[in-house]
Amino acid sequence: MLLVKDLTVRFGETVAVDDVTLELPRGQVLAVLGPSGCGKSTLLRAIAGLEHLDDGTVSVDGQDLAGVPTHKRGFALMFQDGQLFQHLSVGDNIAYPLRLRGVPAARRRARVTELLELVGLPGYADRRPATLSGGEQQRVALARSLAAEPRLLLLDEPLSALDRSLRERLAADLREILVATGTTALFVTHDHDEAFTIADQVAVMFRGRVVQQGPTLEVWRSPVDEEVARFLGYRRVFTGDAARVLLRAAGLPEADRVALRRSGVWVDSDGPLWATVRHTVAVADAQRVTLEVDGVGELDGLANQSRHLDPGDRVRVMVDRYNIVAL
Amino acid sequence: MGPAVGRHRHRLSVLGTRAGLTLVALVPLAFLAVFFAWPVLGMLTRGFLPEGELDPSAVGDVLGRERTLRVLVFTVVMAAAGSALSLLLGLPLAYVLYRLRFPGRGLARAVVVMPFVLPTVVVGVMFRSLLAPSGPLGFLGLDGHWLPILLAFVFFNLGVVVRTVGGMWEGLDPRREESAAVLGATPWQVWRTVTLPALAPAIVSAGTLVFLFCSTAFGVVLTLGGLRYGTIESEIYLLTTAFLDLRGAAVLSVLQLLAVVAMLAVASRTRARREQALRRVGDAARHPRRGDIPVLVVSGLVLAFVLAPVANLVWRSLATPSGLGLGNYRALTDPGATPALRVSVTEAVGNSLRTAVDATLLAVVLGVCVAVVVSRRPRRPWARRLVSGLDGAFMLPLGISAVTVGFGFLITLDRPPLDLRTSPVLVPIAQAIVALPLVVRTLTPVLRSVDPRLRQAAAALGANPLRAAWTVEAPVVRRPLLAATGFAFAVSLGEFGATAFLARPDRPTVPVIIYQLVSRPGAENLGMALAASVVLSVLTVTVMALVERLRVGSVGTF
C-alpha cells in the first residue's frame, strides 16, 4: 500500500504541496480532487519521483522511496493526452515497459493482445498512434501503463481532454478495468463526477492542502465546509432561518447552515414549501427552474416535464434529504 | 444580379488572384533565370562545349585525374566528419541551451550562433592565427594540417545544429520522457528510445545541412588549406583562376550540383515530417540538477572552443611590433599602409556596407515574392507539385558553388544584351542570389503556419484578397521579415565566393581585402587582416544580435 506522510513541495516562495498525508490500501483507487492549480499534479509527480520533496516521505509496502529514482519505483504514469510514443506502433507502445524488463518477444506479443482486448481495442496493435482518436489514445496509454503490472498506477487528469459522452463511457470502463486487474491507482482530477465514478476513496485538495479525505460516498454526502461543498457541486448555501426552513422540509435535524444541490429541490404537488417560478430552461430529461421559495429566497431546482412551467407560476416544492447537507 | 453573373464574378476574382500570384512568382523567377541559371549554364557550356560541340570525354578525363579523386574524397570525408563532430558536440549544447534554464543562457545562445554568420574568410584567419607557428597553439604543429579545416567546419556549423535541434527539443513535451521513466526506463534508455527518435528529423535535417555547408565551404578551405587541401568548391576556384581549366571546373560544378540537389531533397523530406510532428508546448526548460553536471561540463568546453579563436583574434589584432596598441586599427584608415592594397580598409568597409544594403533590398523583395507563392497550399496535385518545385528551385543557389555563379557572371554578362562587366550592380546581385534562400527559408514556415481559415474569415467579412493578406499575414510576418533582412545583410557583408570574382579592384569589399592581406607575407599585413576581421565580425555580430532580439524561432531554418 501507498503511504504519503507530511509531504511538502516548494517552488521558490510558493508552497505547491503543503504537508499532505495520504493512505491508499492495496487494490484501491484514490482520487485527489481539486481545482486547477491546487497542487494535485505536483503531488502526483512528487510521488512518482519527478519532483524534489522539501519534506515528508513516500513509501510503498513499508519501503521508503527516498533516493529511489523514478525508473526503479515500479510505477506507471498516464497523462491526460496519453503521451504515446509517436514513432512506435500501438503494440510497441504497450510492449515498451515489457521490453525494458527483457520480456521475451513471444510473451510480449501475447500480453499486448490480452491488454488490447482488455481496453476494448482488439486488433489495433499495428496502428500508429497518430491515426487514433483521443479516446483510443487514452485506452492505449492505459494498456501501456498496465502492461508491467505496476505497484501503483498514477493518472494525471486521464479523461480531461475527451469530450463529455466519451468521458463518461471511458470513466466507467476505467473503473471496471482497474477493479478487474486489482490495480492500486491514484488519480488526480478537477471533475467530481469523474472522481466519484472511478474512485473508492477521495481526497479533496485546496491550495496545496488536503482538506477532506474519506470513502467516496462519505465525502460526497458530507462535505466538511462550504468551500468543499461548493466544489462538489452544491450550488447554494443558506444560513439562519432559511437553513432551518429547508432542513425541516427535508425532515432533517436543525442546523445553522446548509448546502443544496440543484437536484435537492423538486417541484412536487405534495411538497411542503411554496415557491414562485422565476425562470425555466428545458433540458432533455427535466426542466431546470429558478425558484423564489417563500421564507428562503432564490433557489435552483428541477421539475419533471409533466407540466410546462412559466415565470410567475406558483408551485409546491419538496426537498430531497440526500441532496441537502448541514454544514 | 442573377446567380450566373455572381458565379462569373467569383470566377473573375479567382482568376485575378491567380494572375496576381503568377505575376509575383514570375518576377523572382525571371531574376533567377537571368542572374543564376544563365550564368551557371554559360559556365557549364563553356566547360562542356569548348568548341561548340559536346565533348563527353571531358567527364571521364577530369574524373580520372588523381587530384580530382583526392579532392572528391577529401570533400566527402571532411564534410562527413564535420557534420558528425558538429552533431556530437552540438547535441549536449542544444540540450543545455534549450532544455535548461540558467542565467546567461541568452548570451550563450548568441555566442553559439555567432560563428555561423562570421565571414568565412574571418573564420579562416582566426584558426590560422591560433595555429600558426607564432600563435598560442603553434606548438601543436597543426599549421597547414587538415585538422584546422575540420575544426573550423565544426566551429562554423555548431550553431546550425544547436538551433535546429534545440528548436525542436524545446518544443518536445517532457511528459513523454517522464512517462517512459515511470514505466521503468533509465535516463539512458529514455534518451535512446524516446528523445532521440523524437529528435531524429531535426538531427537528420541539421546533419544534411551541415554536410551541405561543409562540402561547399570555400573561404575557410582557401585560407586554411592553401593549395594542398581542397574541396570541390575551392578546386573549382583554383581550376578557373589559376589553371584556366574551365572544363574541369564545369565537370566539378555539375558533380557538386547533383550532390547538393540530392541532399536538399533529403532535407526537404525531413522538414515536411518535422513541420507535421511539431506540436509545441510552452517553455519546458527547468533548472539544472546534479545529473546535468556532465553535460554542463561538456557544453562549457564546447563554448570555450567557440570563444577561444574569437578571443585570440581580438587579442592578436591588438599586437603590434611595439607592444599592445591600436596600431593595426589605425592602419586601416590609411590607403598607403601596405603595398598589398589599393584602397584603405575603411573605404572597403564603405563599399561592403553599400553593396550589402543593395543586396539585402534585392534579396528581401524577391524573397517575399517567393515566400508568398511557395507558402500557398493549392488543392490541385499539379499545382502543389509546381509550388514544391519552385521551393526547390529557389534553394539551388545555396548549393551551387558561389564561385561558379561568380565566374558565370563574368563570362555571360559581359556582352549585349546585358553588359554589366563594369557595372557596380554585379556584386549586389550575386550576393542577393546567395542570400535569397535564407530569406525564403525564414519567411516560408511563418507564412505556412498562418491558418488559411483566418484569411477566409477576413474574406467573409468583406476583405479583398490583398486586404485579407494585409490584415492576417502582415502582422505575423513583420518580425520574421526584419530578422530575415538582418540575416541577409549579415550574409551579404561576409559573402566571399562570388564577390572574390566580381568585385572590381578599385572597389573591393572587406572579405576580399582580408583575403588579399592574408595571402601576402608580412607581419603588418597579417596585423591589418586581423584588425579588419575584428571590424567585420563586430559589424555582422551586431546585426545578428539585433536579429536575435527579435526572437524569431526560425531564422534560416531549412
For position B332, what pLDDT does the model report?
Answer: 80
Reported pTM: 0.78
* Cα–Cα distance, B126 to B151 (Å, whole number): 11
Residues A168 and A297 both lie in one domain? no
pLDDT of B163 over the 90 cut: no
Domain's final residue, options A206, A229, A252: A229
* Cα–Cα distance, B308 to B123 (Å, whole number): 12
Domain's final residue, options A229, A248, A283: A229
CA torsion B421→B427→B431→B436, rounded to 10°? Answer: -60
A to B CB pairs, distance under 8 Å: 63
End-to-end CA distance of chain A: 32
Residue A139 touches chain B, beta carbons under 8 Å: no
Contact map slice: A 59-98 vs B, CB within 8 A? 70-79, 83, 85-87, 96-97
Question: Which range scores top for mean pLDDT: A193-202, B12-21, B80-89, B537-546?
Answer: B80-89
Which band of pLDDT confidence, cut at 50, 70 and 90, is reported for residue B558? very low
Q: Tell me the three state secondary structure of residue A319.
A: strand
* Cα–Cα distance, A315 to A272 (Å, whole number): 10
Residues A225 and A247 both lie in one domain? no
Residues A182 and A249 both lie in one domain? no
Contact, A188 vs A32, CB < 8 A?
yes
Contact, A291 vs A285, CB < 8 A?
no
pLDDT of A324 over the 90 cut: no
- Total structural domains within chain A: 2
B10-41 tens-digit pLDDT: 666 666 677 777 888 888 888 888 888 888 88
Radius of gyration of chain B (CA): 25
Domain's final residue, options A199, A229, A259: A229
Residues A223 and A240 both lie in one domain? no
Residue A101 touches chain B, beta carbons under 8 Å: yes
* Cα–Cα distance, B495 to A65 (Å, whole number): 60
For position B4, what pLDDT does the model report?
Answer: 56
Nearest-CB residue to A71 (from B184, B197, B200): B184
| Minimal-distance CA residue of chain B relative to A83 | B176
Helices (H), B506-556: 510-518, 523-549
For A308, the domain range is 234-326
Residues A67 and A209 both lie in one domain? yes
Contact, B492 vs B355, CB < 8 A?
yes
Radius of gyration of chain A (CA): 23
Residues A204 and A252 both lie in one domain? no
* Cα–Cα distance, A39 to A206 (Å, whole number): 8
pLDDT of B457 over the 70 cut: yes
Contact, B507 vs B351, CB < 8 A?
yes
% of chain B beyond a pLDDT of 70: 88
CB < 8 Å to B193, chain A: 85, 96
- CATH number of the domain within which A243 lies: 2.40.50.140
Q: Which residues contact B172 (CB under 8 A, 6 or more apart)?
A: B195, B198, B199, B281, B284
Any idea what DSSP says for residue B557? -
Q: Which three cell numbers stand for residue A218?
A: 462519505
User: Mean pLDDT throughout B271-287?
Assistant: 57
CB < 8 Å to A72, chain B: 184
Residues A110 and A207 both lie in one domain? yes
Q: Which of B366, B393, B375, B403 is nearest to B246 (CA)?
A: B403
pLDDT of B282 over the 60 cut: no
Residues A152 and A286 both lie in one domain? no
CB < 8 Å to B175, chain A: 79, 83
B214-271 tens-digit pLDDT: 888 877 888 787 667 888 888 888 887 788 787 788 888 888 888 877 877 776 676 6
Which DSSP string corresponds to B170-234?
HHS-HHHHHHHHHTT--HHHHIIIIIHHHHHHHHHHHHHHHHHHHHT--HHHHHHHTTTS--HHH
Residues A35 and A157 both lie in one domain? yes
Least confident range from A43-52, B283-292, B302-311: namely B283-292
Residues A97, B184: C-beta atoms closer than 8 Å: yes
For position B284, what pLDDT does the model report?
Answer: 65
CA–CA min distance A101, chain B (Å) = 8
* Cα–Cα distance, B105 to B96 (Å, whole number): 9
Residues B183, A73: C-beta atoms closer than 8 Å: no
CA–CA min distance A75, chain B (Å) = 6
For position A103, what pLDDT does the model report?
Answer: 92
Q: What backbone phi and psi angles, to 5 degrees, belong to B324?
A: -65, 140
For position B502, what pLDDT does the model report?
Answer: 82
Optimal mutation site among A42, A45, A100, interface B, most CBs of chain B within 10 A:
A100
- CATH number of the domain within which A132 lies: 3.40.50.300
A256-269 tens-digit pLDDT: 889 988 888 888 88
CATH number for B83-315 (one of 1.10.10.10, 1.10.3720.10, 3.40.50.720, 3.40.50.1260): it is: 1.10.3720.10
Residues A83, B187: C-beta atoms closer than 8 Å: no
A85-140 tens-digit pLDDT: 988 999 999 999 999 999 999 999 999 999 999 999 999 999 999 899 988 999 99
A227 burial level (CB within 10 Å; 0-12, 13-18, 19+): middle
